[in-house]
């Protein structure tokens, strides 16, 4: 009897593990599809795109960026409104309302009409706060649209897609950050109009325990190629330091 119970327990455990592994593979496949889609959208439209990962909410989505997009080397990802200097926000608001002497670094006049069209002072202030905290230069990113029936409609790929069951983002490495984003926070992988991408490594696990299974997904910079394999098959830091020909960046050991 004890042997039968043990056998049933092992069988059940194996069944649960197969389900979890199937969900994990489905999730990493959906992420790879989103990355490939963003690359294709950037090349086709001639506009900067990015895939945004929210590790706290366990979601990812595609955004299109307008304006002068510039990436800054940071230790962590910055979001509009997070840790924003209030004096910079005020300067941004004054500049966007027409005061050329208040122009903050990295902010251009192309966004002035957006603030002038704001319905309330609160909306104008929110716009200034978002732009003051943006880390993509003067660019502004949001959900993409596509043509349907002769008019522009929201692209469903711009809606957050959530990981299934207990799957989590274990860690994400991107070129514009000095280190990985692990377990929490927000990070974006960027795709450029000329047909190349920001190098990145994404790890997705089926839990937070030490024995959790995970997949590693790699984005190659020159071609935007996306590939993934089971487990820890590549050194993320080494991938970040290599150029398009596979050589280490100058000055790196």
Strands 181-182 and 214-219: unpaired
In angstroms, the CA 145 to CA 156 distance is: 8
Contact 219, 189 (CB under 8 A): yes
Structure tokens at 218: 């790699």
Give how far the C-alpha of residue 120 lies from the chain's centroid of Cα atoms, to the nearest Å: 31
Per-chain mean pLDDT for the chain: 76
**Mean pLDDT in consecutive groups of 10 residues from the start of the chain, 253 residues:** 50 46 93 96 92 95 82 59 57 70 58 55 62 52 86 91 94 89 91 89 92 93 89 84 51 46
Contact 235, 199 (CB under 8 A): no
In angstroms, the CA 48 to CA 92 distance is: 23
Radius of gyration of the chain (CA): 21
pLDDT at 117: 56
In angstroms, the CA 28 to CA 218 distance is: 11
pLDDT at 133: 46
In angstroms, the CA 19 to CA 13 distance is: 10
Half-sphere exposure of residue 164, counting CA atoms within 13 Å on the CB side? 13
In angstroms, the CA 153 to CA 147 distance is: 6
pLDDT at 200: 94
**pTM to 2 decimals?**
0.68
pLDDT at 141: 82
pLDDT at 136: 46
Contact 34, 42 (CB under 8 A): no
């Amino acid at each position: 009897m004890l042997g039968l119970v043990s056998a049933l327990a092992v069988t059940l455990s194996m069944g649960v593990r197969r389900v979890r592994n199937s969900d994990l593979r489905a999730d990493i496949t959906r992420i790879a599809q989103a990355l490939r889609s963003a690359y294709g959208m950037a090349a086709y439209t001639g506009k900067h795109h990015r895939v945004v990962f929210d590790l706290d909410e366990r979601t990812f989505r595609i955004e299109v960026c307008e304006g002068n997009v510039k990436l800054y080397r940071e230790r962590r990802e910055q979001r509009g409104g997070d840790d924003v200097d209030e004096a910079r926000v005020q300067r941004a608001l004054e500049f966007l309302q027409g005061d050329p002497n208040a122009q903050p670094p990295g902010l251009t006049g192309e966004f002035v009409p957006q603030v002038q069209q704001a319905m309330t002072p609160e909306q104008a202030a929110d716009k200034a706060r978002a732009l003051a905290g943006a880390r993509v230069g003067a660019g502004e990113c949001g959900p993409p649209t596509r043509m349907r029936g002769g008019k522009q409609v929201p692209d469903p790929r711009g809606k957050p897609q959530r990981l299934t069951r207990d799957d989590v983002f274990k860690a994400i490495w991107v070129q514009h950050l000095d280190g990985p984003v692990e377990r929490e926070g927000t990070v974006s992988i960027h795709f450029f109009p000329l047909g190349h991408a920001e190098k990145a490594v994404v790890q997705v696990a089926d839990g937070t325990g030490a024995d959790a299974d995970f997949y590693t997904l790699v984005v190659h910079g020159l071609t935007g190629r996306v590939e993934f394999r089971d487990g820890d098959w590549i050194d993320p830091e080494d991938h970040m330091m290599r150029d398009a020909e596979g050589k280490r960046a100058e000055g790196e050991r």
